[in-house]
């Protein structure tokens, strides 16, 4: 079947292309006039995809892009139509790459039986299974010591006045 989605049944539809001119009355114009009507086609976005079926075979299907985005296809299994996840079949080098990745994942993450986990010493289990202890809480900025004095003249300590209105005199520096 040409130009028909095998899952949804989408196919070429026909309609009209309408040419208009003028300004809408609500925008202050005198109204929109139709100047021409021509027939046109609305074609679905169909793609040919190699789909891996549940029984392990590969089948080429022409499906709409909306089906690819949804990730679900409807196929006949055991004489009944069923919804299945869409799995694209790999080709050539890509197939070999995917198979090697699956083998690496199987080797990298061995499944440990429950008996083996129970036989391991507690110290090893705690070191492997227990997450690291959380870092001690830091002090809030208000509780920290005050910042060192800045270089500005306002922050520098000033010498007491030599002749002051308060009446206190500073002692002359002693030479030792």
Q: How does pLDDT run across 53-87, given as a tens digit for each residue?
A: 888 888 899 999 999 999 998 888 788 888 889 98
Residues of the chain with pLDDT under 70: 1, 93-94, 109-176
pLDDT, position 77: 79
Instruction: Locate all alpha helices (DSSP H) within the chain, ordered by sequence.
Output: 65-70, 92-108, 114-119, 122-129
Enter the DSSP assignment of 93.
H
User: pTM score > 0.85 for this model?
Assistant: no
Cα-based distances in Å from 42 to 39, 107, 175: 10, 51, 104
First to last CA, the chain: 112
């Amino acid at each position: 079947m040409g130009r028909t989605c095998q899952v949804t049944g989408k196919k070429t539809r026909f309609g009209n292309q309408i040419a208009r001119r003028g300004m809408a009355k609500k925008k202050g114009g005198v109204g929109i006039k139709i100047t021409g009507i021509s027939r046109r086609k609305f074609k679905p976005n169909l793609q040919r995809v190699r789909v891996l079926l549940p029984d392990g075979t590969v089948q080429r299907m022409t499906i709409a892009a909306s089906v690819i985005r949804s990730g679900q296809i409807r196929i006949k299994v055991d004489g009944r139509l069923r919804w299945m996840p869409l799995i694209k079949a790999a080709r050539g080098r890509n197939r070999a790459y995917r198979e090697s990745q699956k083998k690496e994942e199987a080797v990298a993450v061995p499944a440990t039986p429950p008996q083996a986990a129970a036989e391991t010493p507690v110290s090893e289990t705690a070191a492997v299974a227990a997450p690291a202890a959380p870092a001690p809480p830091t002090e809030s900025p208000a509780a920290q010591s005050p910042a060192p004095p800045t270089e500005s003249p306002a922050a520098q300590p000033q010498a007491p006045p030599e002749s002051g209105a308060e009446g206190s005199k500073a002692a002359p520096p002693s030479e030792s």
